[in-house]
Structure 1
Amino acid sequence: MSYQALYRVWRPQRFDEIVGQSIITRTLKNALITKQISHAYLFTGPRGTGKTSAAKIFAKAVNCHYLKDGEPCNQCETCKAINEGRLNDVIEIDAASNNGVEEIRDIRDKVKYAPTQADYKVYIIDEVHMLSTGAFNALLKTLEEPPANVIFILATTEPHKIPATIISRTQKFDFKRIKPKDILDRMAYILDQKHVEYDDKALKIIAKAAEGGMRDALSILDQAMSYGDDQITYENALLVTGSVTNELLTTYMQQIVDKDTKSALITVQKILDGGKDASRFVEDLTSYCQDVLLYQQDPQMVEEMELGILDDHFKKLSGEISDQSIYQMINELNEIANSLRFTAHPDVYLEVLTVKITHLTDNPQQAATTGSSVNSTDVAKIKQLTEAVTQLQQEVQALKSTQPVGQPAAKDVGETTPKSIEAKPADSHIELAKIYPILGKATRKQLDHFKGIWPDLMTALSVPQRSVMHVSAPVAASGDGVIVAFQYPFLYQKAQGDPDLKDALENGLDRLVDRVPQIVFIPENQWPGIRRDYLKNHKNELKSKPGDQSQPAEATKKVDSVDEVEAKPIVKKAEELFGKDILDIKND
């Protein structure tokens, strides 16, 4: 027979062989012993924690006639048939590939028939969260009122995706992550049975890398056995898992605490040259920081978590580093971990990380108490600035008290930001050099043309691009360009800094008008001022041009008659009713 993976060969066949789920197995055995068997169960939990194995063992036990303390005998014909997968009354379904309504309806129709060999028909539906909404609805009625000889066992790693109506009709069992100590004992037992030599430290590395999943642990153990020719060594375990030695992590952390950037960078390069995975290194470093933080609070708990592989150097380091530094390091590690997922140059990110965390400082309050972060020169500068601010405040108060009656009071130092000084980010990027040439040739005909095709242009954009442009509209246009105004300045800034958006607009205009006019963005609240300034500055030039239907020519008349507009109440009323843009004021 061909070679089988360890997790298949050593799959539990009895409840007592399921590792780390004693509460669940005891509950299921007691239900079998007392004949209090439910019609539907829901097994939830992380991958590799024994959900499917428990379902198969329960299917055997419920049909075994030779139960002993709730355990199947594994010797009778029914148990053997289930172990070999040839009993038609135990049906395993993968919901990931059978998630449609038709498959569930087929089950609903077949549950009416009595089992052929066993006492119960058992349906094991794995990854049940993959069922469609229609499939869940089709399953609902069957779960609510199933035949007496049918049991459903649903297994999933994502219970939050299962409708509450399904969960309420089942007995729910939450499988927990398996403790590293339990995984270690199980691996040692399997290797002893196989007469394979192993290093205790190697098994501890594998148990930690499995992250609570027994199947993952056995898969890594399989790889280590293949790599080491049926010998499990510490070095092989590190190579297979991609982990960094505890000694190297401690050395790196000591260099960080000592703020020895150069040595830390050399250590990082050594780790990468050894073929270690950058993401794995960040994970190991995060776990190391967690251990240091927890060790400062409860050393015994960390000793149990790390399976007793903590050395004296680690314990000494835990007393040297502050919890504030650990918090900052973990934040930096989280950011780098996200960045590493999308880069082809992990060495750059690790080097940047090293420089940043070797320059971390504690919070200001702690720095003040230790005196390590603020030197005497900084203290002197701060004192000098504080005295200068106090003196300025006193002078302002003196000016207030001596100011003549009837004049406005001077503002406080904290209020020295008048509206004229307030920064307007939208103003600083207005491209007048591009706007004026367009205004010089702008016509009403061109503007009406662009307004007519504007909805078609918007439909050619992506959804995020349309969300930016939905409050914009052309306000002036010529044969060579179009000026687009935005109602909100922050959307104007977003559009101004998005070259892809401009490319999309130019491509769309190329298809609609067979040319690529220049597109200039402006905030709508600045448009009247820009237009007025242009007309005033180019008044003589515009008057010398023929009287076509251009916008500047029409607007020039408005500039000439500004005083009249202010003087005539009827014109003011017309502006209030219809707006200035459509008025054409002519002198009698």
Structure 2
Amino acid sequence: MSYISFYRKWRPQSFSEIIGQEHVVQTLRNSILKNRISHSYIFCGPRGTGKTSLARIFAKALNCINGPTSEPCNKCKNCTSISTGTNVDVIEIDAASNRGIDDIRGLREKVKYLPVVLRKKVYIIDEAHQITAAASNAFLKVLEEPPEHVVFIMATTEPHEVIPTIMSRCQRFDFEPLKLDKIKTRLADIASIEGINISESAISLIAKYADGSLRDADGILEQLSSFGDSKVTVDSVTSLLGIIDQEMLFEFANILVEKNINQGLLFIKRLIDSGLNLKIFVTEFLEHLYNLYVIKSYENPLDIVDINEDAKDKYFKQSALFGLDEIEMHLDIFSELLKQVKWGEGAKTFFKTAVIKAINSEIINNANINSRFKKIDTEIVLLKELLEKPSGIIDESKKVKSTGQPVTDSKKDIPQYAGKSKETIKKPEVIKENTANSKDSASLPPEKEVNPEEAEEFLRSNYDNLLMMVKKKNISIEAMFKEATDFKIKGSTICFYLSENKKFHKDHLNKVKSAAVIQESLREITGINMKVVFDFEPCENKKIKDNNRIEDKNDKIPAGDTKESGILNENIIEPEKDSTEEQKKPGEGAANKVNRDNDIYEYIENKFGKKQ
């Protein structure tokens, strides 16, 4: 008798021999016992899980001479002919090569004929997802009104590619990948009967590599039976299949935990020179890291991961060298690497850089993280106090010791309103130039009560800065905000006035988001936290000019007065905008009026050559 491959020789021949698909077997058996046999079935699942084998067994159970029965006898001529594939009433169709509409039309013509020998004519259509869309639509007519003597059993690994109209006309059964222990038990039985001397660890490695497919596991065992005359070991499996030796995984993990860059570079060279598939190595190492993580974090890890007895002690010892944070970091690095080496291009370069990164990476422990967060929280609290207070000196005991200098708002060097101060206000251009020197400030202005009149006067003289600040934060809000005609400070509220035809502007600026931008800008300019509102009521005596400067309506040059005459109203004289010119500091008030007068006289002297 000619040689038969293991996967054919050991193919299940009865329901009781099916492994790992008990839910499907039970349903099919009961449907036969209760005479509830459907006209079409579809078996879905990965390769090597028993779809075609179970379809044949179901065909035998329907057509056994002693049946229909829940367990075929495998002795009658009907069962034996189906098992050998010689029965004319059980037709197996490969949809990958018979996928066209002409093939389906031929099938439609044949199904109407009664079976020759059996009770039921059974069509087993493998790789059903390969049928074209046109052929699938033609096949629908048969499924809608099938002859009573026909049963269709379709098998597919890609159920999502089968059109929904076909899927809805079939009873669907999902086949699961076989569990590791079931494959190991099956391989041990076959090896015992076939006389193959193989170690338990080698069987475990085969079962793991088969990835839930019993057919793949049978094929690997068959290859190993011819590999050598001696006992089949783990080394035999790794050599034949080209998979990664477990010792190499332990060695690489030790290099990472020791952060030995020299050994790491040598390992990279040895791995690349060996010609091993980098994708397989990275996949295996991720599995290795996962095992370490489970052992490190779970009370009964052997209930979750399958580890060979030979490697169990090594896993537990190595897991003690790693921290959970470190394992998680390596899982992230090599998971990202797996995506990069997936396509093959530049895989070696990606692998080299990932290994170097993994060796040189450091884990910051929780104590360091907490101390850093506490330091940041302290600085944030101090900055909030600085922004919320009108003015004042921060308590020396609250200074951040690590800085060595008082806390200043280095992000924005706009002068703050602090009651009365003799310091001058810098223009925006000068502020930008002096930003680098803002940290040299030795002290903050003294704490004063907020004077609405002085705050209003200061804001009018710094309205350009306010517009610039709002524009920097949100240019669309600034475009509407600059339409304000005037403002008034009442307690802790500042009211900006708009003309009656600016209803859209008022509604938009009164929204929380817009008001927050303006409120923040005001706080950065004046140091005062004020509520911002917009209204239509105009102010009686003040208005904002087109150039965004504020002046009294009645402060006009008297009729007949000219600049040539030298007679000017001091209230409207404004210095020419010069980048080096200093503006008055907020809070100057009435106490510093003499300084303002002197500035005006000096301006007249410089401009007109006349003394007052």
TM-score w.r.t. structure 2 length?
0.61
Question: 1:101: how far off?
Answer: 1.2
Check whether the contact 1:399–1:410 (CA below 8 A) recurs between aligned residues.
no
Q: Which residue of 2 aligns with 1:349?
A: 350
Q: Does 1:407 align with 2:462?
A: yes
Distance change >3 Å, CA 211–CA 90, structure 1 → 2? same
Q: Which residue of 1 aligns with 2:335?
A: 334
Question: 1:53: how far off?
Answer: 0.8
Question: 1:399: how far off?
Answer: 7.2
Question: Using the alignment, how far apart are the partners of 2:9 and 2:474 within structure 1?
Answer: 77
Question: 1:224: how far off?
Answer: 2.1
For the residue of structure 1 that corresponds to 2:96, the secondary structure is coil
> What amino acid does structure 2 have at the position aligned with 1:239?
S
Check whether the contact 1:47–1:213 (CA below 8 A) recurs between aligned residues.
yes
Q: Which residue of 1 aligns with 2:63?
A: 63
> What amino acid does structure 1 have at the position aligned with 2:15?
F
For the residue of structure 2 that corresponds to 1:290, the secondary structure is helix
Question: 1:284: how far off?
Answer: 0.5
Question: Using the alignment, how far apart are the partners of 1:311 and 1:36 within structure 2?
Answer: 50
Check whether the contact 2:32–2:68 (CA below 8 A) recurs between aligned residues.
no
Q: Output one character per residue of 1:177-228: Cα deviation in whole Å (capped at 9) or x when no partner.
A: 1111111111111111101111111111111111111111112222222223
Distance change >3 Å, CA 315–CA 57, structure 1 → 2? same
Q: Which residue of 2 aligns with 1:72?
A: 72
For the residue of structure 1 that corresponds to 2:408, the secondary structure is helix
Question: 1:314: how far off?
Answer: 1.4
Q: Which residue of 2 aligns with 1:561?
A: none
> What amino acid does structure 2 have at the position aligned with 1:95?
A
Q: Does 1:390 align with 2:408?
A: yes
Distance change >3 Å, CA 335–CA 393, structure 1 → 2? closer
Distance change >3 Å, CA 416–CA 306, structure 1 → 2? farther
Question: 1:142: how far off?
Answer: 1.3
Distance change >3 Å, CA 419–CA 24, structure 1 → 2? closer
Q: Which residue of 2 aligns with 1:314?
A: 315
Q: Number of matched residues?
A: 411
Question: Using the alignment, how far apart are the partners of 1:191 and 1:414 within structure 2?
Answer: 81
Q: Which residue of 2 aligns with 1:585?
A: none
Alignment of 1:247-396 (within 5 A): 247-298=247-298, 300=300, 302-303=302-303, 305-309=305-309, 310-343=311-344, 346-362=347-363, 367-369=368-370, 390-392=408-410, 396=414
> What amino acid does structure 2 have at the position aligned with 1:205?
L
For the residue of structure 2 that corresponds to 1:267, the secondary structure is helix
Q: Which residue of 2 aligns with 1:186?
A: 186
Q: Output one character per residue of 1:490-509: Cα deviation in whole Å (capped at 9) or x when no partner.
A: xxxxxxxxxxxxxxxxxxxx
Question: Using the alignment, how far apart are the partners of 2:78 and 2:318 within structure 1?
Answer: 59
For the residue of structure 2 that corresponds to 1:336, the secondary structure is helix
For the residue of structure 2 that corresponds to 1:43, the secondary structure is strand
Distance change >3 Å, CA 131–CA 393, structure 1 → 2? closer
Check whether the contact 1:209–1:241 (CA below 8 A) recurs between aligned residues.
no
> What amino acid does structure 2 have at the position aligned with 1:258?
E
Question: Using the alignment, how far apart are the partners of 1:314 and 1:94 within structure 2?
Answer: 46
Question: Using the alignment, how far apart are the partners of 1:228 and 1:389 within structure 2?
Answer: 78
For the residue of structure 1 that corresponds to 2:143, the secondary structure is helix
Alignment of 1:67-106 (within 5 A): 67=67, 70-106=70-106
Question: Using the alignment, how far apart are the partners of 2:95 and 2:128 within structure 1?
Answer: 5
Q: Which residue of 2 aligns with 1:570?
A: none
Question: 1:289: how far off?
Answer: 2.0
Q: Does 1:120 align with 2:138?
A: no
Query: Which range is displaced more, 44-53 or 343-352?
Result: 343-352
> What amino acid does structure 2 have at the position aligned with 1:17?
E
Question: Using the alignment, how far apart are the partners of 1:79 and 1:227 within structure 2?
Answer: 36
Question: 1:388: how far off?
Answer: 7.7
Check whether the contact 1:105–1:138 (CA below 8 A) recurs between aligned residues.
yes
Query: Which range is displaced more, 75-84 or 311-320?
Result: 311-320
Question: Using the alignment, how far apart are the partners of 1:200 and 1:153 within structure 2?
Answer: 38
Check whether the contact 1:202–1:238 (CA below 8 A) recurs between aligned residues.
no
Distance change >3 Å, CA 87–CA 303, structure 1 → 2? same
Question: Using the alignment, how far apart are the partners of 2:243 and 2:469 within structure 1?
Answer: 55
> What amino acid does structure 2 have at the position aligned with 1:317?
Q
Q: Which residue of 1 aligns with 2:446?
A: none
For the residue of structure 2 that corresponds to 1:232, the secondary structure is coil
For the residue of structure 2 that corresponds to 1:228, the secondary structure is coil
**RMSD of aligned alpha carbons:** 3.3
Question: 1:412: how far off?
Answer: 12
Q: Which residue of 1 aligns with 2:432?
A: none
Check whether the contact 1:42–1:171 (CA below 8 A) recurs between aligned residues.
yes
Question: Using the alignment, how far apart are the partners of 1:110 and 1:224 within structure 2?
Answer: 45
Question: Using the alignment, how far apart are the partners of 2:411 and 2:345 within structure 1?
Answer: 55
Question: Using the alignment, how far apart are the partners of 1:416 and 1:384 within structure 2?
Answer: 35
Q: Which residue of 2 aligns with 1:10?
A: 10
Q: Which residue of 1 aligns with 2:157?
A: 157
Question: Using the alignment, how far apart are the partners of 2:327 and 2:229 within structure 1?
Answer: 40
Question: 1:148: how far off?
Answer: 0.9
Q: Output one character per residue of 1:446-494: Cα deviation in whole Å (capped at 9) or x when no partner.
A: xxxxxxxxxxxxxxxxxxxxxxxxxxxxxxxxxxxxxxxxxxxxxxxxx
Question: Using the alignment, how far apart are the partners of 1:295 and 1:383 within structure 2?
Answer: 44
Query: Which range is displaced more, 265-274 or 69-78?
Result: 265-274
Question: Using the alignment, how far apart are the partners of 2:147 and 2:112 within structure 1?
Answer: 7
Question: Using the alignment, how far apart are the partners of 1:366 and 1:241 within structure 2?
Answer: 47
Question: Using the alignment, how far apart are the partners of 2:289 and 2:319 within structure 1?
Answer: 9
Q: Which residue of 2 aligns with 1:379?
A: none
Check whether the contact 2:60–2:82 (CA below 8 A) recurs between aligned residues.
yes
Q: Which residue of 1 aligns with 2:50?
A: 50
Structure 1 segments unaligned to the other structure (5+ residues): 375-381, 421-588
For the residue of structure 2 that corresponds to 1:3, the secondary structure is coil
Question: Using the alignment, how far apart are the partners of 2:236 and 2:291 within structure 1?
Answer: 24
Alignment of 1:123-162 (within 5 A): 123-162=123-162
Question: 1:123: how far off?
Answer: 0.6
Alignment of 1:528-547 (within 5 A): none
Question: Using the alignment, how far apart are the partners of 2:109 and 2:4 within structure 1?
Answer: 36
Check whether the contact 2:62–2:68 (CA below 8 A) recurs between aligned residues.
no
Check whether the contact 1:104–1:135 (CA below 8 A) recurs between aligned residues.
yes
Question: Using the alignment, how far apart are the partners of 1:103 and 1:24 within structure 2?
Answer: 30
Q: Output one character per residue of 1:63-102: Cα deviation in whole Å (capped at 9) or x when no partner.
A: 1123597121111111111111111111111111111111
Question: 1:419: how far off?
Answer: 11
Distance change >3 Å, CA 307–CA 406, structure 1 → 2? closer
Q: Which has the larger radius of gyration?
A: 2
Check whether the contact 1:115–1:149 (CA below 8 A) recurs between aligned residues.
yes
Structure whose residues are more often helix by fraction? 1
Question: 1:362: how far off?
Answer: 3.8
Question: 1:243: how far off?
Answer: 2.6
Question: 1:311: how far off?
Answer: 1.7
For the residue of structure 2 that corresponds to 1:123, the secondary structure is strand
Question: 1:386: how far off?
Answer: 10
For the residue of structure 1 that corresponds to 2:97, the secondary structure is coil
Q: Which residue of 2 aligns with 1:235?
A: 235
> What amino acid does structure 2 have at the position aligned with 1:407?
N
For the residue of structure 1 that corresponds to 2:463, the secondary structure is coil
Question: Using the alignment, how far apart are the partners of 1:215 and 1:339 within structure 2?
Answer: 31
Distance change >3 Å, CA 321–CA 136, structure 1 → 2? same
